[in-house]
Structure formats: structure tokens, C-alpha cells
């Protein structure tokens, strides 16, 4: 087996804790008393953070992290002339940092032509890849450059070539969910959740729960009053102290109750639109939104593919960033989730995540 096959794909485990409520909406779909609902898994009915939301925000954050270090660099273009000697376009003769190359993954060759628009939707997909670093449409909008570590890592599509990218993001599913009890806040999980992260545990009996001490007899989880069956074996094998979570905080519940407990303990906020003229509440503008509460811990993964063989077959794609460069780009940019967040209503105190990559 070749070296590239051995490292292909390379998974990175993600553990994330919500430091603010997380709101990723479904487009105004209403359930009962909630007007603005959040995305749920269609099978389990458990809220989640879609992989598309994670990929879209992380793409933006990698661009921000790169541009702050290379914003002063201006690439040098060569004019393209026709037979009459008139300039008809420009081209970058070769990627050359001219002895000003930044360190590490920021110095990837194609980053020289990166733009902030590499993070958003491509406004000029009709351009050929060779023209895309400098081309604009009639409104002056630019699109994906097609050469930087973001376009190569997350993907792009141009008139003459489409590239899937090297990064594949899974959904972030709830691993531990905080619930109020008479003994303080506890985090519930299931045996199947623990097995996802490589921990073995015995399933509790129907409508019974397991705690670390196992001597509570009965314990409330929100409005549910359940019998404590015994102790669990969960321990801090994956450094949950980074998220201020200890084994004493963990309660294992039956899989059949997990979805019900979560959906009964989501954060629900009531808001109203303000009339800009009167400064008071606008008539008929009251609405409610639900969110995943702060303290929730998620689990997912990112797969990084070594696609160097594709680049060898398609000269336009060369060079490609290495797996290590993409790993470091993700690692160095994840801190933006702790300030800018993910999802909607981030200006109203929603969205911040603390992410740990393994």
C-alpha cells in the first residue's frame, strides 16, 4: 500500500462546547409555541450543528486568519497582449513571494492571490481558473481565486474546472446535554454516544438512569423524575476537564428518553421587533426562538483527503496543500468560534463555541 493510501483520509475528531446558546434555524418553520425552530436530525429528532454550517464558517475563519498576515503583500501581474500589442488581460507568471514568504501554511504558494471573497459565494464562476485571481464582473465583484489554501482545501468551481476540495465535515451531534436537577446541573448522554468516542458502558434499564455515585435513589431531569439504577464507569479519558465536565456531572440515560429530555430542555427566548419611530414594541411582532443551551458538548469529525494524485493528472490544480498544512490552518483559525461564533442571532448573545481538535 502506498504512503498516500495509508494517510487517506485522515480523520480529526472535534469536541465542541457551546459557550452561548446555539441557534441554527430551519427557515421559520413553526412547532407549537416556537416560531423559529432549529435544525434537527430527521431520524432521532435531536438538534445538531450541520456540517455545512461548520464548513462555511470555518472557510471564512481560515481566510481571516490568513489575510491578517499577508494583507500587505501585493502579487505582481504580467500583461497579456494581442498581436497588435494591446493589453487584453493579465496573468500571474508564477507564484513568487519575493523573499517575503510567511511561515507555515500561510506561506502556501496560492495564498498570494487570496481575497476575502474566497470565503463567500463565488460571484464569477463563469471565469476560467487562469483568469479568476484578478477577474471581476460588470459590477466589480470578484469571486474565488481558485489557487489559495482555502479554495484548494474547501473547494471551488470555475468554467473550466470544478474541485471538490480536500476537507469533509461531519455534522456535530450532541454528546453531552446539560439538564437542571435538584443536585445541580448534570450532563446526560447515552451508551451509544459514549461508544462513538470509544468508551464502553452498559445500557441502563428502561426508564432508569446511571450516575457516578449511584446512591441518589431518584433524580429529576427537568420535569422527569427517574429512578437511579446504579453507577457508570465513565471517566475523563478524553480530557473533558477542558470543558469543565467531570464524571460526577455525567448521567447515562436510556436511548429512548434522550431525545425527549433534550427537546424538553431547550432554551426558548421570546423577542419582539421594535418600531423605529415610536421606540416601543411593534404590534403583532412578538416571536419565539429555540436554541441549544450553553454548556452542551458536541462531537463530530473532519476528514482530510490526500488528493495529490488528482493534481498530478490535472496540471491546473497544482500545487495542492499538504494534509499537515490543512490541519494547521484549521487549528490556528478555530479560535474565531470563541468570539464570532456560528449560526444565527450572534449579535444577540448566541453562537459562540469552544472547539477542541484531536
Among candidate residues 166, 186, 215, the one where a domain is terminated: 166
**Digit-coded pLDDT (tens) for 45-72:** 999 999 999 999 999 999 999 998 887 7
**Digit-coded pLDDT (tens) for 174-213:** 999 999 999 999 999 999 999 998 888 889 999 999 999 9
pLDDT average, residue stretch 107-114:
87
pLDDT average, residue stretch 116-145:
85
pLDDT average, residue stretch 110-133:
87
| Higher per-residue confidence, 211 vs 74 | 211
Q: Is the dihedral of CA 327, 107, 94, 151 positive or negative?
A: positive
Residues 190 and 250 in one domain: yes
Residues 89 and 16 in one domain: no
Q: How many beta carbons lie within 10 A of that of residue 85, not counting itself?
A: 6
Residues 178 and 220 in one domain: yes
DSSP 41: -
163, 136 Cβ separation under 8 angstroms: no
Residues 45 and 180 in one domain: yes
Among candidate residues 147, 166, 185, the one where a domain is terminated: 166
**CA angle (314 as vertex; 311, 317 as ends), nearest 5:** 55
**Digit-coded pLDDT (tens) for 219-243:** 999 989 999 999 998 876 556 667 8
pTM for the model: 0.88
Which residue is it, cell 475563519?
Answer: 61
Residues 180 and 224 in one domain: yes
In the three-class reduction of DSSP (H, G, I as helix; E, B as strand; rest coil), residue 342 is classed as coil
How many whole angstroms separate alpha carbon 90 and alpha carbon 137? 15
Residues 23 and 68 in one domain: no
Residues 91 and 147 in one domain: yes
Whether 300 has a pLDDT exceeding 80, the answer reads yes
Residues 119 and 241 in one domain: no
Identify the domain containing residue 211 by its residue range: 10-50+171-301+339-357
Residues 129 and 213 in one domain: no
For the chain, what is the largest distance between any 2 Cα atoms, rounded to a whole number of angstroms? 91
Q: How many beta carbons lie within 10 A of that of residue 53, not counting itself?
A: 19
End-to-end CA distance of the chain: 25
Whether 142 has a pLDDT exceeding 90, the answer reads no
Residues 152 and 219 in one domain: no
What's the domain count of the chain? 2
Per-residue pLDDT band at 246 (split at 50, 70, 90)? confident
In a domain, 319, yes or no: no
In a domain, 289, yes or no: yes
Amino acid at each position: 500500500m502506498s504512503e498516500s493510501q495509508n494517510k487517506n483520509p485522515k480523520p480529526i475528531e472535534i469536541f465542541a462546547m457551546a459557550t452561548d446558546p446555539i441557534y441554527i434555524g430551519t427557515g421559520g418553520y413553526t412547532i407549537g409555541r416556537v416560531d423559529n425552530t432549529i435544525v434537527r436530525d430527521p431520524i432521532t429528532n435531536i438538534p445538531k450543528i450541520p456540517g455545512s454550517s461548520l464548513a462555511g464558517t470555518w472557510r471564512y475563519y481560515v481566510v481571516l486568519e490568513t489575510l491578517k498576515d499577508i494583507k500587505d503583500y501585493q502579487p505582481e501581474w504580467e500583461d497579456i497582449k494581442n498581436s497588435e500589442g494591446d493589453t487584453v488581460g493579465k496573468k500571474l507568471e508564477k507564484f513568487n513571494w519575493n523573499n517575503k514568504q510567511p511561515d507555515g501554511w500561510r506561506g502556501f504558494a496560492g495564498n498570494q492571490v487570496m481575497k476575502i471573497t474566497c470565503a463567500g459565494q463565488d460571484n464569477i464562476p463563469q471565469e476560467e481558473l487562469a483568469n479568476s485571481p484578478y477577474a471581476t464582473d460588470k459590477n466589480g465583484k470578484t469571486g474565488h481565486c481558485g489557487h489559495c489554501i482555502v479554495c484548494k482545501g474547501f473547494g471551488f468551481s470555475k468554467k473550466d474546472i470544478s474541485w471538490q476540495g480536500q476537507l469533509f465535515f461531519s455534522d456535530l451531534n450532541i454528546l453531552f446535554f446539560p439538564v437542571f436537577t435538584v443536585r445541580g446541573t448534570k450532563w446526560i448522554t447515552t451508551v451509544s454516544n459514549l461508544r462513538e468516542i470509544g468508551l464502553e458502558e452498559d445500557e441502563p434499564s428502561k426508564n432508569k438512569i446511571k450516575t457516578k455515585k449511584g446512591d441518589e435513589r431518584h433524580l429529576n431531569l427537568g420535569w422527569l423524575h427517574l429512578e437511579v439504577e446504579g453507577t457508570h464507569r465513565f471517566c475523563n479519558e478524553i480530557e473533558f476537564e477542558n470543558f469543565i465536565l467531570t464524571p460526577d456531572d455525567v448521567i447515562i440515560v436510556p436511548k429512548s428518553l434522550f431525545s425527549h429530555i433534550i427537546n424538553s430542555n431547550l432554551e426558548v427566548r421570546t423577542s419582539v421587533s421594535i418600531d423605529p419611530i415610536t421606540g416601543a414594541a411593534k404590534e403583532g411582532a412578538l416571536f419565539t426562538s429555540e436554541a441549544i443551551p450553553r454548556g452542551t458538548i458536541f462531537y463530530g469529525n473532519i476528514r482530510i483527503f490526500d488528493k495529490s494524485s488528482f493534481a498530478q493528472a490535472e496540471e491546473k490544480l497544482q500545487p495542492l496543500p499538504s494534509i499537515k498544512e490543512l490541519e494547521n490552518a484549521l487549528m490556528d483559525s478555530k479560535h474565531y468560534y470563541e468570539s464570532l461564533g456560528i449560526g444565527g442571532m450572534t449579535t444577540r448573545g448566541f453562537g459562540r463555541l469552544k472547539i477542541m481538535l484531536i
